[in-house]
Amino acid sequence: MDILELSYKHLPVHLKPCFLYFGVFQEDIEIPIGKLIALWIAKGLIEKQEQKSLEDVAHDYLMDLIGRSLILIAKIKSDGRVKACNMHDLLHDMCLRIAEQEDFLKVIQNELSICDKHHMSIHSYSNTSCSRPSGLHVRPFLHQSLNPSTFISGSLELLRIFDMSTTNMEHYDQIGIRRFVHLRYLAVSCIPSSTASLHNLEFLLVDNKEVAQIPEILLNMMKLRYLHFRGGAQFMESCHMRASKDESFQMNNLENISFLFIYEENDEKILRYSPHLRRLKCAFKVIWDSSKRKYRYPNLDFLNKLESLRLSFHKNYETKTSPGLMSFPSNIKKLNLCKFDLSWEQISIIGRLLNLEILKLQDVFLEGKQWDTSEGEFLELKFLELDGVQISQWNASSDHFPNLQQLVLRKCHHLKNIPSCFGEVPTLVMIEVHGCRNSVTESAKEIQEQQRELGNEELKVIISRSAILR
């Protein structure tokens, strides 16, 4: 333990509180990076740097801790960034002990015991959501028999992070969330009526089961930067009315929205007041354009800073004519399309996105079932996933995907084989085949053998034997 403590003592000043914050998580769990970074920012542990977002700075902090072997990588995203992490048990014990010594947090094993400290972690044995952290916030631990008024004390009104996502709505008003005026991070099961008083709120996570209605007050919280609705959300009619009158909203700092339903033009108008949006997950139907008297796809190309976009298409069977082509923000790096019917012209538009690095197509029907890739498209693409895509023939050249690193094929039941030219792509390091024809599996192995003959031993091929078709 003395040797391990040296690693902590040698940490730069700005990394020490970030490391100690891991003490608020229970042992032996995978910690989602997105949530960890949000908590670090809400706690004020991330220093501002020019030309960098707080999220990017926080990611650099995390990678520094990983590089020092203090934090372990648990999962990797398709773009190579860390998706989840964890901590060795010995380091976790050390982290808790130092955190208590330095009065950073206090761990209480009895859920009914409250420690009146500025930093606090409550580990409830009855809590089934082990990955939900606490520290400068309270993990959901209130029972129906417990009077919430016994929990709140004056000093706890200084809380910055408060997680009550698994507690019934009836407790919120008893707890008195409106008194937490310094709150930066709030996780609840539905939007409390007292949200209007939380002027410093930056992160709002709603663990809803049914579609939530986003009220006007959320669209006028100037510091709000992250909105997440597990069960999806849509703007209230009052928001639409304001948008139709071209009345403005105060959403300048909003960077992340998920999961949003876009069904009409006023939804687009509302999003125009989020010029700094970087990530968006949404589902939509085609929109009736009254000025041109025809149906069209939503237009999101005004989101100039958008980097990650996930679109799920809900078909409107009243639409008999084609809604035309959909444009995308020019700065997009990650694009995930689900349940689309895509023409080759639309594929070409996607292929010409200059910054596109990750493309995922799920349950997509491609026109003609034969994909002939073209020169000058997908020049920066590093990750390509086809999941349930209905193509039978794929014709490509090695110079069509010059920077591809990973190819993933899932349940492409009609596809006959992988173009052999992928064996000539110098950057390719991984091919995954899951639930495809045996001929696709064999073509993947042939590409790997071709690379070995050229002296490249780095290309890995992963085959899932389940549901492979002949």
Average confidence score pLDDT of the chain: 83
pLDDT of amino acid 285: 83
Check pLDDT > 70 for residue 320. no
Among residues 330, 312, 205, the alpha carbon closest in space to that of 263 is found at 312
**Which of 90, 111, 142 represents a domain boundary (last residue)?**
90
pLDDT of amino acid 108: 60
Task: Say how many domains are in the chain.
Answer: 2
pLDDT digits (tens, 9 = 90+) for 49-91: 988 889 999 999 999 999 999 999 999 988 788 999 999 999 9
pLDDT of amino acid 193: 79
- Whether residue 136 contacts residue 43, with contact meaning beta carbons closer than 8 Å, is answered with yes
Within a domain: 362 = yes
pLDDT digits (tens, 9 = 90+) for 80-122: 889 999 999 999 999 989 988 888 876 665 443 333 333 344 4
Domain that holds residue 411: 335-470
Task: Using CB atoms within 10 Å of the CB of residue 204, give its burial: 0 to 12 exposed, 13 to 18 middle, 19+ buried.
Answer: buried
Within a domain: 16 = yes
Q: Among all chains, which residue has been given the structure tokens 């409250």?
A: 114
Check pLDDT > 50 for residue 1. yes
Distances (CA, A) of 223 to 113, 163, 209, 248: 33, 19, 26, 16
Within a domain: 366 = yes
**Which of 53, 73, 90 represents a domain boundary (last residue)?**
90
**Which of 90, 124, 155 represents a domain boundary (last residue)?**
90
Given pLDDT bands bounded at 50, 70 and 90, which one contains residue 177? confident
Check pLDDT > 70 for residue 317. no
**pTM higher than 0.75:** yes
Within a domain: 48 = yes
For residues 256 and 251, give the distance between their C-alpha atoms in angstroms, rounded to a whole number. Answer: 11
Residue 225 CB contacts under 8 Å (≥ 6 apart), including other chains: 202, 203, 253, 254, 255, 256
pLDDT of amino acid 333: 96
> 163-173: string of b/e by CB count within 10 Å (b at 16+)?
bbbbbeeebbe
Task: Using CB atoms within 10 Å of the CB of residue 90, give its burial: 0 to 12 exposed, 13 to 18 middle, 19+ buried.
Answer: exposed
Within a domain: 213 = no
Check pLDDT > 50 for residue 148. no
Within a domain: 27 = yes
pLDDT of amino acid 286: 81
Average pLDDT over residues 293-307: 87
Q: Of the ranges 70-74, 303-307, 367-371, which one carries the lowest mean pLDDT score?
A: 367-371
The CATH number given to whatever domain includes residue 36 is 1.10.10.10
The CATH number given to whatever domain includes residue 461 is 3.80.10.10
Within a domain: 318 = no
Q: Which helix (H) or strand (E) covers residue 60, if one does?
A: helix 54-67
